[in-house]
Structures are given as structure tokens and as C-alpha cells.
């Protein structure tokens, strides 16, 4: 390939560096005239600020001079700050707002911050995103009427400020919010830190993927590769927080892997969602080479993988539905997540599923016979219930041969479906005297389950594991005392049982 490329689709509304027409929205006029500020800007070389001689509602508004066309899925991104966080209203009371108007008299406003909302109570610059089609929290006049010309920051305060210009607004942009990553080569792969370095360049400050203490803060669409160009993205040991974006839309925060020649290798990468509206989804658009090892995804949305995806020792905690797409899952933990949408159970090994309290661990979509190795299930209901471990929704017959010490899962059948679970386990009787007769009976009965007339020094009994099953084991040999082991519990995993036969001192065969 070639060296990494880090770009975005965002377009400038204003960088707040020089010129332009600034004012206040009608009804939000507690501040004084905005002035240029060259001391505490976040992007470029200046920002626009205002003094706060009175408490109440104030605003800084920029005139783009013409209407901007904002299509579905496009958001407005704005940097703003208030340097007196203790005198700001809470989020619910609209402490900080993003404002869009067709003119100064007709505008819409959305809650984006407050004294109880990050980065408050400590304060600092905050980049916020709003979908202009999201129902506004506040309206001035007739609202913006779908015309997007004036853009601004609003503050609701509880006290006046006697000095300084505490309210500031800097670069404002619009777009899908794509962090576009392309190319990458040996010893110079695309990385999280690489994009953050470009994002955080003072000339850009896109506000999409920024470095913060202990990791990175991300919002928008992370595009790993494009339709035209692949990416070679390899990184490890990173912590990423998905920003809370309560005035956007469900799919706003997402990761898409595009171009079949792309490769994405993540080792010990952690994602944590802060919000509930747009939790962050992951989708393999093209069947790229994806490899996750020891990663963790917490409180995120849906995941869609394909056949070239290999997911090892990775945790999905309280996530949305995960679509296997023929991918390989080995040693993964699914803790309180939505059902795994599984189409090839043979590619799911040694995974641990813990119930959220409702629902299934897996929804099975394709009938067939599968080897099901080492998977365990905790907290699921009995077969036939809505919270059984497996939901056979394939419309056909599924036979599961459970092995590797895994649990025999409970199941529920959908329309036209049937399921048989066989957990074949081997109990090996060892240290036998050659030519002994071995019989295994259902405990307390004469129902023979297995046996042999003349054995070697070992005998293997294979059974389909069912919890709380007991057997009686009987061993005969003419020169040894009769051996009997009553009520022996059959285990869910393979086991060895040494047989201690004692010589019969009274035996005589002249």
C-alpha cells in the first residue's frame, strides 16, 4: 500500500478566526456584544466570545449568509465553552445549547450540556454534534423552518459574571462526521493515535477522534477503508470512549470496514459507550480480513461480521445483537448481550454466555449438524422457554454434538424447527485386570447401558451427558473379588476412574 491517510468529510461553517457577522438570537440576549478572542481559542488562531453581565439566556450566533442544505444523516458540529461552570444550569434545564436559525428571530435549540454533564463540573472546550432534524428542545419564533443559515452556542446561567468573556464559540462544521482512514503499510499502519494526531492538529480540531487522558474520545462514523481504497489498520492496547451524543440518531456513532482488501488487526482494544441513543455499532461492509484478540466492547450497539473475521478472547458486555456472518469466535465472553445471530456453530468454540436476565444466548439461523465445542451457558431458562439458551429459528433440524467440556444448552424451537443436543462424554475405567467382565447399569436398576465380556486394562464408556445422571459399575473376574461402584455420578467432561480389584484368596481352580 502506501502511507496512512487520515481525512474527514466535514465542511466549515466558520472557523471563528476572522471576520463574519456575529450576533445574538432573539430571546437569548443576556450577553454583551461578541468580540474576537485570541487567548483561549481551541482551533485555528482565535474564537468568538461574549461577556455575561446578566444572568439568564445568552447566545453567540454566526451568519453563514446563505442557507446550507443538510441532508438526512448530516449533523452540525460546534466547539463551545463556558468558563464559569458553577453558574450554568443543568443539562435538563438546557445549561448549554446548540442553536440553528433561518434568521435571528426564528431558531431551534437543542440541549448539549450543563453543570452536571461532561466536561463539567470541571469545564473546558466541548465539541458537540446535533442532527437538525432531531426534535428541538427549544424554539424561538416559528423555529428554523428547515432553513439553516445562523449557527450558534447558547448558555443558560444562574448568575452574572462580573469580569471576562466566559462564553466562547469556535470552529463550527457540518457533515456525516466521518473519520476516514485509508492505506497503511508495514511499520506504518493506520492507527488510532495516527488519526487522533491529525484530528487534534490546531489547524483542524475536527472533534471526531481526540486524545484524552487515558485514551481517546470518539464520535461520528469511523470509516476503515473506502469503496475506492483499502486500509491496513493495526493497533493494540488502546482505550476508546464513545461520546454521548443525545441529539443525533441511533446509527450516528459507528465503525464500518470497507473494501475487501482491507485488514484490521486489534489487540487489547477497549470500547466503552457513554450514551444510550447512539451506542456505537460495528459493521463489516465488505469481507475484509478482520482479527480481534483480547478486545472488550461495553454497552455498545450491534456488530456484523463476515467469513474473514476472526474474534479471539474478546468480551461483548451488554451489547446489541452480534451477527456471526460465518466468522470465527474462540474463547469469547458474551455477558448480558443480545443473542448472537449464529449461522455456523462449528466456528463458535469455548465461548461463555451469561444471561442478561431475559432472552436467548444465540439465535440459530441455518439447519445442520454441528460440533459444538467447549461453550458454557449461565443463567438461561429451561428448554421451550423464551429465555432458553438457544433459539432454533432455522426452520429445520439442528443436531449439536457437544464436546470439549461444554454445557448441554437448553433450547427453544421456532416454526418448523427441531433440535437434538448430544453431549458425548467418555468415562474411562482404568487399571482393570485383563479379561475382566465389565457392566454398566442405570443406577439402582438392572438396565444395562454398556459392557464387555472380556476387556483389556481399560474400558471406555461414552454417553450423552444429562445433568444428575448416575450409574452402577460392576466388574467380574474369576480370580478377583466382585467389584461394584454404586451411584457413580456421570460428569459433563471426560473422566478417568481407577478400578481397584482385590485378589480372591478363596478362589481355587484346580
Domains of the chain: 11-175 (2.60.120.260), 332-416 (no CATH), 425-498 (2.60.40.2190)
Element (H, E) at 198: helix 192-199
Closest among 292, 242, 238, 243 to 270, alpha carbons compared: 238
Kindly report which listed range (29-43, 107-121, 176-190, 191-205) carries the lowest average pLDDT score. Answer: 29-43
- Mean predicted lDDT score pLDDT of the chain: 95
| pLDDT value at 51 more than 70 | yes
Strand, coil or helix: 192 = helix
Residue 425: strand pairing partners = 463
pLDDT, mean of residues 362-373: 95
| pLDDT value at 39 more than 80 | yes
pLDDT at site 160: 87
Closest among 370, 377, 334, 330 to 350, alpha carbons compared: 330
- 8 Å CB contact between 288 and 269: no
pLDDT, mean of residues 61-72: 95
pLDDT at site 444: 94
pLDDT tens digits, residue range 468-494? 899 999 999 989 999 999 999 998 788
pLDDT at site 506: 77
Residue with cell 432573539: 26
Q: Where are the beta strands (DSSP E) in 258-359?
A: 263-273, 281-284, 289-293, 296-298, 303-304, 309-312, 315-317, 322-323, 328-330, 333-335, 340-342, 348-349, 352-354
Confidence category of residue 162, pLDDT binned at 50, 70, 90: confident
pLDDT, mean of residues 397-416: 92
| pLDDT value at 169 more than 70 | yes
Q: How many helices (H) and strands (E) does the chain have?
A: 1, 45
Give the strand order in the sheet containing 362-364: 5-8, 178-182, 221-224, 254-257, 281-284, 303-304, 322-323, 340-342, 362-364, 390-392, 411-413
* Cα distance between residue 79 and residue 349, in whole Å: 47
pLDDT at site 467: 78
Residue with cell 428542545: 137
Confidence category of residue 509, pLDDT binned at 50, 70, 90: low
pLDDT at site 494: 84
- 8 Å CB contact between 65 and 149: yes
pLDDT at site 33: 73
Please calculate the CA angle 59-65-68 and round it to the nearest 5 degrees: 90
Confidence category of residue 508, pLDDT binned at 50, 70, 90: low
* Cα distance between residue 115 and residue 93, in whole Å: 10
Q: In the structure grid, which three cell numbers stand for residue 16, read together?
A: 471563528
Confidence category of residue 405, pLDDT binned at 50, 70, 90: confident
| pLDDT value at 510 more than 60 | no
Compute the Cα dihedral for 238, 239, 243, 244 and give only its sign: positive
Q: What percent of the chain has pLDDT over 70?
A: 99
pLDDT, mean of residues 258-270: 98
Kindly report which listed range (289-293, 324-328, 474-478) carries the lowest average pLDDT score. Answer: 474-478
How far is CA 413 from each of CA 207, 346, 429, rounded to the nearest angstrom?
Answer: 48, 19, 37
Confidence category of residue 164, pLDDT binned at 50, 70, 90: confident
* Cα distance between residue 309 and residue 284, in whole Å: 9
pLDDT, mean of residues 229-233: 98
pLDDT at site 37: 83
pLDDT, mean of residues 484-508: 88
pLDDT, mean of residues 421-444: 93
| pLDDT value at 314 more than 60 | yes
pLDDT at site 92: 97
Q: What percent of the chain has pLDDT over 90?
A: 86
* Cα distance between residue 65 and residue 169, in whole Å: 18
Amino acid at each position: 500500500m502506501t502511507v496512512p491517510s487520515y481525512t474527514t468529510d466535514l465542511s466549515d461553517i466558520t472557523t471563528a478566526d476572522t471576520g463574519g457577522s456575529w450576533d445574538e438570537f432573539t430571546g437569548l440576549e443576556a450577553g454583551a456584544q461578541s468580540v474576537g478572542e485570541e487567548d483561549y481559542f481551541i482551533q485555528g488562531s482565535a474564537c468568538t466570545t461574549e461577556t455575561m453581565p446578566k444572568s439568564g439566556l445568552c447566545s453567540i450566533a454566526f451568519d453563514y449568509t446563505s442557507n446550507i442544505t443538510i441532508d438526512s444523516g448530516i449533523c452540525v458540529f460546534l466547539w463551545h465553552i463556558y468558563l464559569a461552570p458553577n453558574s450554568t444550569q443543568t443539562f435538563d434545564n438546557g445549561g448549554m445549547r446548540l442553536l440553528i436559525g433561518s434568521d435571528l428571530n426564528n431558531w431551534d435549540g437543542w440541549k448539549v450540556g450543563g453543570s452536571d454533564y461532561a466536561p463539567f463540573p470541571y469545564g473546558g472546550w466541548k465539541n458537540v454534534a446535533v442532527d437538525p432534524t432531531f426534535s428541538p428542545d427549544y424554539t424561538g419564533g416559528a423555529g428554523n423552518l428547515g432553513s439553516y443559515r445562523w449557527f450558534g452556542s447558547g448558555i443558560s446561567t444562574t448568575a452574572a459574571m462580573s469580569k471576562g468573556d466566559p462564553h466562547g464559540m469556535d470552529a463550527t462544521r457540518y457533515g456525516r462526521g466521518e473519520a476516514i482512514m485509508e492505506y497503511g503499510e508495514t511499520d506504518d499502519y493506520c492507527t488510532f493515535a495516527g488519526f487522533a494526531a491529525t484530528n487534534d492538529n490546531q489547524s483542524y480540531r475536527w472533534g471526531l477522534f481526540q486524545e484524552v487522558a487515558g485514551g481517546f474520545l470518539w464520535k461520528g462514523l469511523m470509516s476503515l477503508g473506502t469503496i475506492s481504497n483499502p486500509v491496513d489498520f493495526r493497533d493494540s492496547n488502546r482505550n476508546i470512549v464513545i461520546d454521548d451524543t443525545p441529539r443525533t440518531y441511533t446509527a450516528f456513532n459507528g465503525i464500518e470496514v470497507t473494501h475487501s482488501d482491507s485488514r484490521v488487526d486489534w489487540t487489547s482494544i477497549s470500547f466503552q459507550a457513554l450514551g444510550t441513543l447512539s451506542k456505537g455499532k460495528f459493521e463489516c461492509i465488505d469481507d475484509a480480513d478482520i482479527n480481534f484478540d483480547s478486545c472488550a466492547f461495553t454497552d455498545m450497539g450491534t456488530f456484523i461480521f463476515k467469513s474473514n473475521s476472526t474474534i479471539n478472547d474478546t468480551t461483548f458486555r451488554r451489547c446489541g445483537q452480534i451477527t456471526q456472518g460465518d466468522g470465527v469466535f474462540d474463547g469469547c465472553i458474551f455477558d448480558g448481550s443480545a443473542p448472537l445471530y449464529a449461522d455456523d456453530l462449528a466456528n463458535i468454540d469455548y465461548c461463555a454466555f451469561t444471561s442478561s436476565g431475559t432472552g436467548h444466548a444465540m439465535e440459530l439461523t441455518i439447519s445442520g449438524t454441528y460440533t459444538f465445542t467447549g461453550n458454557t451457558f449461565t443463567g438461561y431458562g429451561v428448554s421451550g422457554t423464551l429465555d432458553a439458551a438457544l433459539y432454533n429459528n432455522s426452520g429445520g433440524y439442528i443436531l449439536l454434538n457437544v464436546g470439549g467440556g461444554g454445557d448441554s444448552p437448553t433450547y427453544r424451537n421456532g416454526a418448523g424447527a427441531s433440535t437434538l443436543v448430544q453431549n458425548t462424554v467418555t468415562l474411562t475405567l482404568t487399571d482393570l485386570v485383563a479379561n475382566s467382565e465389565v457392566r454398566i447399569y442405570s443406577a439402582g436398576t438392572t438396565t444395562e447401558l454398556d459392557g464387555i465380556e472380556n476387556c483389556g486394562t481399560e474400558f471406555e464408556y461414552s454417553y450423552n451427558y444429562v445433568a444428575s445422571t448416575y450409574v452402577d459399575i460392576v466388574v467380574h473376574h474369576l480370580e478377583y473379588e466382585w467389584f461394584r461402584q454404586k451411584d457413580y455420578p456421570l460428569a459433563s467432561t471426560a473422566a478417568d476412574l481407577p478400578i481397584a480389584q482385590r485378589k480372591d484368596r478363596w478362589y481355587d481352580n484346580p
